[in-house]
Amino acid sequence: MTTTETTEEAAGAEVRPVPDGRAPVRRQLPRLSEVRELLQFRAPVLDPVKRRLDNALTIEDLRRIGRRTTPRAVFDYVDGAADAEVTASRNLQAFRDAVFIPENLNSVVDPNLSTELLGERIDFPLVFAPTGYTRMMHHEGEAAVARVAQRNNLPYTLSTVGTTAIEGVREAAPEGKNWFQLYLTNNHRLNNELVDRALAAGCTTVVLTIDTAVGGRRLKDVRNGLTIPPSLTVKTFLDMSRFPYWWINKLTTAPIDFASVRDFPGTSADVAALLFDPGLEYEDLAWLRKKWPHNLLVKGIQNPEDARRVMELGADGVVVSNHGGRQLDRTPATLDILPAVREAAGPDATVLLDSGIRHGQDIIAAVANGADAVMIGRAYLYGLMAGGEAGVERAVEILRSEYRRGLQLLGLDATSKIAARHVNIHASSLESSSIQ
């Protein structure tokens, strides 16, 4: 007789005979204490933003919430990409196709997620990519993202076309690892001024973006009639009734503009036109290298030869990026070209990768194939649209916990243990990306 049977009989369980010869089912009167244990009612979360963020388990969940809470044209501006969006879907597919190979029976009790990037320790291999017009996605904008970055000991990169000025980010996150992304223009005074201000505001790294000779053609923006800053047309007015909070917040906070280049003469459109400079060439990088005394990364590298050349010109590293598929369409997924770029840049170069990071395991795939860290763009913007600063925090929480669990299930107790043998990207991704 087992212990269970003894207990049940002692509790007065009734044993009913079963006619077909099967073991009898023992029943008992329900006990209140057991029912209480089963019914784990939680106190309702009254704050609707917190409630929806708590329910978001993935970056895709944040994306879905962001789609519901933000005007269509704004969501599409974030979510969309250039032309047929082939590159944007390749980016995602390459990560999905990565094959993970675990090594078990290693103790992974408390993995060390941290890593060293450009001489500084950061909490895990993640950097916030520069994104323009961030206060359009949510009125808390760049300052909120910079604060989240500071709290999590991760670098934040402010865009030249940010809607918060360089000095504003410093004010929001004075202890943060604040970087500045630079668009070089054919206006030398503006270039000089921006670099000087980044230096004065304590930025540790300048990221020069080189993949915007002209603007990519994002068809959704054209079709939605998106203007920057957003303006009230009949269409946007109708949209307004569906997103009153977004509009109230927009209309009751500082106007959306290119805050770092606000004092530059001309309309927003004039300044925007200036920022895409088809004349950009290697001499401009040489000038910047002389002028900027700290870390210099070049963003938008898509082939090994460019990586080699910018390293020869004195860059400290590169960002393998296709701008999230928002510029030239039909380029390769960044993950697919990463190993070749790492080899060309050399072992001492800092190599970052962005475009398509949506899961913590994507970070592992990138690190295994030669990246020191990744940048995220849309992943945090989805969080921002879903719930402002708290939404960005949730995005980081999701990515960090996926990253941690991924390491543990791979049998790795530290970021430094990730190696090429743990993630095979050439098993299927090259074939699938070439037929898309």
Per CB under 6 A, the segment of 111-119, 124-132, 168-176, 341-349 that binds ligand FMN is 124-132
Residue type, 249: N
Choose which of 59, 74, 118, 161 interacts with ligand FMN (CB under 6 A): 161
Q: Considering Cα of 255, then 259, then 262, then 264, what sign does the dihedral take? A: negative
What three-state secondary structure class fits 428? coil
The reply on whether position 324 binds ligand FMN by CB under 6 A is: yes
To ligand FMN, the closest distance from the beta carbon of 41 in angstroms equals 39
Choose which of 62, 126, 129, 184 interacts with ligand FMN (CB under 6 A): 129
Residues 164-183 that bind ligand FMN (CB under 6 A): 181
Asked if residues 297 and 316 have their Cβ atoms less than 8 Å apart, the reply is yes
To ligand FMN, the closest distance from the beta carbon of 376 in angstroms equals 5
Asked if residues 257 and 270 have their Cβ atoms less than 8 Å apart, the reply is no
The reply on whether position 355 binds ligand FMN by CB under 6 A is: yes
To ligand FMN, the closest distance from the beta carbon of 162 in angstroms equals 7
CA atoms within 13 A on the CB side of 403: 30
What is the per-residue binding string for ligand FMN in 61-90, x denoting contact by CB under 6 A? ----------------xx------------
User: Catalytic: which of 138, 139, 323, 359?
Assistant: 323
The reply on whether position 332 binds ligand FMN by CB under 6 A is: no
Annotated catalytic, 426? no
b/e map 315-327, b = 16+ CB within 10 Å? bbbbbbbbbbbbb
If you ran DSSP here, which 8-state letter would residue 327 be given? S
How far apart are alpha carbons 341 and 182 in whole angstroms?
A: 22
What three-state secondary structure class fits 221? helix
Choose which of 90, 135, 308, 323 interacts with ligand FMN (CB under 6 A): 323
Stated as kind and residue range, the H or E segment containing 115 is strand 115-117
How far apart are alpha carbons 113 and 128 in whole angstroms?
A: 17
Residue nearest to ligand FMN (CB): 377
Q: What positions carry a catalytic annotation?
A: 323
Q: Which residues bind ligand FMN (CB under 6 A)?
A: 77-78, 129-132, 159, 161, 181, 209, 299, 321, 323-324, 326, 354-357, 376-379, 381
